Amino acid sequence: MLGRSVVAALLAMNFAAVPSFAQTKAPAKPEAKPAAAPAVKEAADKPAIKMGKDEGKGFLARHEGFLADLKATNGKVDVLFVGDSITDGWRRGGKKVFDANYGSQAPLNIGIGGDRTQHVIWRLQNGEVEGISPKVAMLMIGTNNLSANTDEEIVAGITKCVTTLREKLPKTKVLLLGVFPRSAKPTDAARARIKTINAAIAKLDDAGKTVKYLDIGEKFLDKEGNLTKEIMPDALHPNEKGYEIWAEAVKSTLADLMK
């Protein structure tokens, strides 16, 4: 079983260095407070994990649960689902759709709510895909990095997720999904960032030889580009109708990759 120390991450560093100086006859001045050093960002392509006290316990519990799920498959996994809460949601709002579309395909879902690229990299490197050789791994990750990382860092993180999957599962083809749209309006800042990120990760596509990129984001939008509550009630997570759109949008591509 893995040690708990490997999941610790440095969240911030504050250094206060007060220089010494010779006493003079001049009146003493109040000592200026040193400026706090900026918080250290986690690189999106490094397997460091930012966790609070409770989050850390929950994350490790989910990770260990996935290791148990993996063992229970006896090595038989045809479709692997990798990602954050949107992938995790196949177990809840998308369960009926998941069972109908993937239940007979020996699926394994290792999506965790709140995950960023760093989390996925760490999990892939710490046993969650050991002993299996799926035909396809469907990956969708990156939206949770928007608040902490630059577009370039997020692209690097997603790229690392793909290369790690390829290293760990050399016989598995990766179906890389573009980051899904979020925020209700097409003019919201997140939309433009996601478009930039998706344009960059699309270049990872090698015509499906090992990686196939697919952007199904527009399938969730209305004619004006709005993300409605009928599809994603919180403008981020699909409901059952949203998962139906997802399953239908990837159906033919997934079938081709599984041949």
Pick from 161, 153, 149: which is nearest to 125 by CA? 161
- Model pTM? 0.82
Biggest alpha carbon–alpha carbon distance for the chain: 86
- 30-39, 45-54, 173-182, range with the lowest pLDDT: 30-39
- List the domain boundaries for the chain: 42-257
Question: Which residues 6+ apart lie within 8 Å of 86 measured at CB?
Answer: 111, 140, 143, 180, 236, 237, 238
On whether the CB atoms of residues 125 and 47 are closer than 8 A, the answer is: yes
**Residue 226's Cα: distance from chain center in Å?**
23
Report the pLDDT value the prediction gives residue 237, as an integer from 0 to 100.
98
CATH fold label, 42-257: Rossmann fold (3.40.50)
Going by DSSP bridges, is the β-strand pair 211-214/79-83 parallel, antiparallel, or unpaired? unpaired
Active site residue 183: no
Given a cut of 80, whether residue 109 has pLDDT beyond it is yes
- 55-59, 176-180, 185-189, range with the lowest pLDDT: 55-59
Given a cut of 50, whether residue 13 has pLDDT beyond it is no
On whether the CB atoms of residues 175 and 257 are closer than 8 A, the answer is: yes
d(CA 138, CA 154): 18
d(CA 122, CA 164): 10
Instruction: Say which amino acid occupies 121.
Output: I
Alpha helices in the chain (DSSP H): 53-72, 85-88, 95-102, 117-125, 151-168, 189-201, 240-257
d(CA 207, CA 201): 13
Pick from 165, 144, 168, 142: which is nearest to 155 by CA? 142
List 85, 133, 183, 188, catalytic entry: 85
Report the pLDDT value the prediction gives residue 63, as an integer from 0 to 100.
93
pLDDT category, 57, cuts 50, 70, 90? confident
- 12-16, 165-169, 177-181, range with the lowest pLDDT: 12-16
Going by DSSP bridges, is the β-strand pair 211-214/173-177 parallel, antiparallel, or unpaired? parallel
Pick from 126, 157, 118, 108: which is nearest to 60 by CA? 126
Residues 120-162 pLDDT 10s:
999 999 999 999 999 999 999 999 999 999 999 999 999 999 9
List 45, 84, 215, 237, catalytic entry: 237
Report the pLDDT value the prediction gives residue 136, as an integer from 0 to 100.
98
Report the pLDDT value the prediction gives residue 240, as an integer from 0 to 100.
98
Q: Which residue has the tokens 């690097």?
A: 156
List 99, 206, 222, 234, catalytic entry: 234
On whether the CB atoms of residues 162 and 204 are closer than 8 A, the answer is: yes
Active site residue 119: no
Report the pLDDT value the prediction gives residue 111, as an integer from 0 to 100.
98
Active site residue 237: yes
